[in-house]
Structure 1
Amino acid sequence: MKSKILFILCLLTGLLFINAGLDKFFHYMPVPKDMPDKMVKAGMAFMEIGWLMPLVGAIEVLGGLLLIPGRTRALGAIVILPVLTGILLACISMAPSALPIAFALIAVIFWVIIDNRGKYLPMIGK
């Protein structure tokens, strides 16, 4: 039962990141009307750096794709972690109302990391 719940959560989280990453290339989602001005200005500034949004988008798509199958889930969680850190910091500093969503994503990724902790030990030399 635990593995089915984790699969569903990883599927939803993976699809969310794939969608967010593809939007950075194709810009098909409208900007929410109630988005804080600080967040809109930061997004515009990030878009001025021509390579940044495509890089983040590619990492989101790759991480989302890796997060879905059980075999690559541990790698997907590590790929997504830096992006998720940026999401958390942006929510804390500019849009605290989005923190529940960020915490939900963090919970899923941490569950994957904890569930696969044995796969990470060789990376830290143990």
Structure 2
Amino acid sequence: MKIVKFILCLLFALVFINAGLDKFLHYSPMPKLTPEQEKLFAAFIEIGWLMPLVGIVEIVGGVLFIFPKTRALAAIIILPVMVGIVLHNVWRDPNQTGIIISVVMFLINIWVIIDNREKYKALIS
């Protein structure tokens, strides 16, 4: 079970590291966007600090997610970005192509949070 968990967490981390790096290096091609999605992304770009912030959170969270000792922190750091990704795919993706992968990623994140719940008790007590 530890090997499966490590592999899932490593893949999860690599997806986020890749997404974060792409926000700075722009190496992935942009998918075809609907006019509504183009407006949304134009607004994100207009807010000059938003995409770099998300990119930094994705990179830092992804790197921390690799190591078991820092995985609990990474899961909390990535959670708001993950919620945004799921909500975007549910409400803004007309073809619903990204919902499955985003829900799977969200469930991995929640699993890690639940798995590390003992580490969070000091924060909420």
TM-score range, shorter chain: over 0.9
Aligned mates of 2:26, 2:55 — CA distance in 1:
11
Matched AA of 1:23: D
Deviation digits for residues 61-105 of structure 1, max 9, x if unmatched?
000001001110000000000000110111111013211011110
Q: Is the 8 A contact 1:36 1:94 kept in 2?
A: no
Aligned mates of 1:38, 1:98 — CA distance in 2:
17
2:118 is aligned to: 118
Q: Quick check: 1:91 aligned with 2:102? A: no
Q: Quick check: 1:11 aligned with 2:36? A: no
Q: Is the 8 A contact 1:74 1:119 kept in 2?
A: yes
Matched AA of 1:73: R
1:38 is aligned to: 36
Aligned mates of 1:70, 1:108 — CA distance in 2:
14
- Residue 111 of structure 1: how far off its partner (Å): 1.1
Aligned mates of 2:9, 2:36 — CA distance in 1:
30
- What is the TM-score normalised by the length of structure 2? 0.93
SS of the residue aligned with 1:97?
coil
1:108 is aligned to: 108
Q: How many residues align?
A: 123
- Residue 113 of structure 1: how far off its partner (Å): 0.7
Aligned mates of 2:112, 2:6 — CA distance in 1:
10
- Residue 10 of structure 1: how far off its partner (Å): 0.6
- Residue 48 of structure 1: how far off its partner (Å): 1.1
Identical columns (%): 51
Runs of 4+ in 1 over 3 A off after TM superposition: none
2:45 is aligned to: 47
Q: Quick check: 1:25 aligned with 2:8? A: no
- Residue 32 of structure 1: how far off its partner (Å): 1.5
Q: Is the 8 A contact 1:91 1:102 kept in 2?
A: yes
Q: CA RMSD in A?
A: 1.1
Aligned mates of 1:38, 1:120 — CA distance in 2:
39
Matched AA of 1:15: L
- Residue 110 of structure 1: how far off its partner (Å): 1.0
SS of the residue aligned with 1:44?
helix
